[in-house]
Amino acid sequence: MNYEIKISESGNITRHEWSTEGYQLAMIARPDSDAMFQIISPADSAEIMVDNFDEERKLSVSWASYGDVTPERAAEFAESINTAVRIAGEFQKIVDSFK
């Protein structure tokens, strides 16, 4: 997993970024404010989401319905769901560490 910190020119906003396998978790921290999290998912993959307004900040995995697809495409998408589930677990540990 890659990790990077960026600090605004004013020094008031810090952005932490973790990325792996096309997914990115970002935490934006401001003085006297709760940290906010954002997750970017790769195109055509299962999405990982976070609810910043829930105290527990539990992550969830979501996927779109594609209708009828070939068995090969279904297998590919099933793998993307499994990847998102695994990465959501890794990201959840990071989010939990900031509670």
Query: Identity (one letter) of the amino acid at 94?
Result: I
pLDDT tens digits, the chain, 99 residues: what are they? 999 999 999 889 999 999 999 999 999 999 888 899 999 999 989 999 999 999 899 999 998 887 899 999 999 999 999 999 999 999 999 999 987
* Alpha-carbon span 35 to 80, nearest angstrom: 28
Read off the tokens for 11: 């020094």
User: What's this model's pTM, rounded to 2 decimal places?
Assistant: 0.89
Domains of the chain, by residue range, sit at 2-96
Look at the block and give the residue holding tokens 């993307």. 80
